[in-house]
Amino acid sequence: MTGDARDDGLTRIAFRPPVEADHRRLVDVVDHWFGRPVRARLGRMWFEHFTGTSLVGETLDPRSADPDLPRVVAFLVGFASPDRPGDAVIHLAAIAPEWRRRGFGTAIHERWLRDRAADGAVRASVVIPPDERVAYLFYRSLGFEPVTAGSRPLWGVPAFADHEGDGADRAILTRGIAAPS
Ligand SMILES: CC(C)(COP(=O)(O)OP(=O)(O)OC[C@H]1O[C@@H](n2cnc3c(N)ncnc32)[C@H](O)[C@@H]1OP(=O)(O)O)[C@@H](O)C(=O)NCCC(=O)NCCS
């Protein structure tokens, strides 16, 4: 297995485009991975129509009963904006809780950003609830900046009240993507 993350045996990860069978696997665990109900946002369509702009990450767990069986421990579903050429959009991304803080989140995003740059994207964005502190700090660590124009501070973060409907405040984070050299 090859991978982009820190390579200390327990932390190798390999990426591939999702297949439809990944949907059932992930929709059953995604609420647990997020710690809130998001499964309605992970429709099967992402695994049917957006596989070219999405990734799953697999790793081997030498501690498990079946150490040769790759496990899906990461996903990122996204798309190239049809209306805003050059914009790559992250819809949902997560790492299995027991595999966090090993660089997997960084690795899957960096791989996705490289792939999108190769497709011609120049900018990436993600929309998150402003009270999701870990997600905010994570995207800041990747160089994403919050959109401030028209925002107001919510939970200490520049955000947009009721952005996705009543009570659904959101922060929008963006970063440029360098063209591959
Ligand atoms: C956000 C998430 C993807 C991060 O995945 P991860 O594999 O743990 O991230 P990494 O190990 O690559 O962390 C990179 C950096 O992000 C920041 N970070 C990650 N988790 C953090 C935490 N719990 N607290 C503070 N900072 C954190 C740190 O700066 C970290 O660098 P460091 O480990 O050198 O300090 C993961 O926590 C997750 O799946 N959360 C639930 C789903 C979610 O919020 N998705 C994003 C919105 S779509």
In DSSP terms, 175 is beta-bridged to 124
Please, are residues 109 and 93 in contact by the beta-carbon 8 Å criterion? Answer: yes
The Å distance, Cα 94 to ligand 1 centre, comes to: 9
Query: What's the angle, vertex CA 18, arms to CA 66 and CA 82, rounded to 5?
Result: 160
pLDDT for residue 149 is more than 90: yes
**Domains annotated on the chain, with CATH:** 1-121 (3.40.630.30), 128-181 (no CATH)
Q: How confident is the model at residue 2 (pLDDT cuts 50, 70, 90)?
A: very low
Q: Looking at ligand 1, which residue's alpha carbon is closest to its atom 25?
A: 134
Closest by CA to 59, choosing from 112, 105, 13, is: 13
- Between 67 and 162, the more confident residue is 162
25-60 pLDDT, tens per residue?
999 999 999 999 999 999 999 999 999 999 999 999
Q: Sign of the CA dihedral 126, 127, 128, 130? A: positive
Q: How confident is the model at residue 181 (pLDDT cuts 50, 70, 90)?
A: confident
d(CA 124, CA 66): 37
The Å distance, Cα 108 to ligand 1 centre, comes to: 12
Helix (H, G, I), strand (E, B) or coil at 94: strand
- Give the residue, out of 101, 113, 140, with the most ligand 1 atoms within 8 A of its beta carbon, to mutate for a pocket test: 101
62-112 pLDDT, tens per residue?
888 998 899 999 999 999 999 999 999 999 999 999 999 999 999 999 999
Q: Sign of the CA dihedral 65, 70, 72, 75? A: positive
The Å distance, Cα 135 to ligand 1 centre, comes to: 6
pLDDT for residue 8 is more than 60: no
Q: Looking at ligand 1, which residue's alpha carbon is closest to its atom 19?
A: 138
- Give the residue, out of 138, 142, 144, 170, with the most ligand 1 atoms within 8 A of its beta carbon, to mutate for a pocket test: 138
The Å distance, Cα 106 to ligand 1 centre, comes to: 8
Ligand 1: which residues within 6 Å by Cβ?
33-34, 92-95, 100-106, 128, 132, 134-135, 137-138, 141
* Residue 129, CA atoms < 13 Å, CB-side half-sphere: 13
Q: Looking at ligand 1, which residue's alpha carbon is closest to its atom 21?
A: 134
